[in-house]
Structure formats: structure tokens, C-alpha cells
Amino acid sequence: MVMRRQMPAARHRATVAVTSGRARLRLIAIAAVGAAAAAGCGSAAAPSGPAPAKVSLTVTLTGARGEPHGHWTVRCDPAGGTHPDPAGVCKALIAARPFVPQPPRKACPQIIVDSRAVIMTGTWFGKKVHRVVIDGLCDLGLFAKLSRIFN
């Protein structure tokens, strides 16, 4: 009967474990160096321009017969545009919440005061928007707010 020694197998397993551990550490080190290099690429040379405005709208107020009565561009955060008081317009527009959907089954007055309208097109906090607010029906209150802002 021949007795086999267990020593070489144990050494072999230990050698494999150490080798794979060293290889694993080497791969982690290479990955860390690569990630650091990738993170630094382009950061120094990238131009840092102003961030786009959170609100960017073209606003047209139509008269009684549909002809344009006023036309402005409005940018908010940072405030800007062609309106004489961009910061005040931004504050009032955000408070008016012109792009909040109407609740379903809302009872609206069946009143159309005039054929005037406020037409807003652009971007509202990252969403493309287009809204026509008329002087009547469910838009009666919103039109009153917007006409005070843009008159």
C-alpha cells in the first residue's frame, strides 16, 4: 500500500489562491488608474458656459381681432428676455402656474369675455410646452393673471 502525501496538493491550492489574489489586486489597481485617468480627461479643457435657462418662452398677446398686441421672449433662472422686467415676469409666471393641467370635470363659467389670447411656446422646466390661454371659459382666471403680467 502506497501512501500519498497531501502536501503538494495543499501547496498547489495555496499557490493558486495567492496568484489569483495577486492577479485580482493587479486588476483592481489597473481599473482604478484607468478610472482616474478617464475622470480627468476633458475636465480641464471643457468650456464652462452658462447653464440653459429653466424657463424659455415666446409669449404673444393677441388683441380683440387676433392681431398681435405684444410679443416677448422670457427666460427664467437666470432671468432675461425682451420684457422690460424679466425678473418680475418670471416670479409672476411661476406663481401663475400656466402649465398645470386643469382638474377633470371642473365646472367652468360659460363666459367668453373677448377674443384676446395669450400664446406661450417654449420650454418650461425641461418640458416642451405650447399653450393658448383665452379670455374666457376655464382660462378666465389664468388669462386675468397673464394679462396683468404682459400688459
Domain ranges of the chain: 1-49, 55-149
Question: What average pLDDT does the segment 30-35 reach?
Answer: 55
Cα 136 to Cα 134: distance, rounded to the nearest angstrom: 6
Q: What is the pLDDT of residues 37-47, one digit of tens each?
A: 555 555 444 55
Distance linking the first and last C-alpha atoms of the chain: 109
Q: How far apart are CA 135 and CA 143, in angstroms?
A: 6
Please state, rounded to an integer, the average pLDDT across all residues of the chain.
78
**Residue 109 has what pLDDT?**
86
Would you place residue 30 in the very low, low, confident or very high pLDDT band (cuts 50, 70, 90)? low
Q: Mean per-residue pLDDT for 75-102?
A: 93
Model confidence pTM above 0.85: no
- Range name among 17-21, 25-29, 74-78, 130-134 with the lowest pLDDT average: 17-21
What mean pLDDT is predicted for residues 65-91? Answer: 90
Confidence of residue 17 (pLDDT cuts 50, 70, 90): very low
What pLDDT is attached to residue 15? 47
CATH architecture for residues 55-149: 2-Layer Sandwich (3.30)
| Residue written as grid cell 464652462 | 48
Distances (CA, A) of 147 to 59, 63, 142, 150: 11, 11, 8, 5
Q: So what's the pLDDT on residue 16?
A: 46
Question: What number of other Cβ atoms are within 10 A of residue 150's Cβ?
Answer: 20
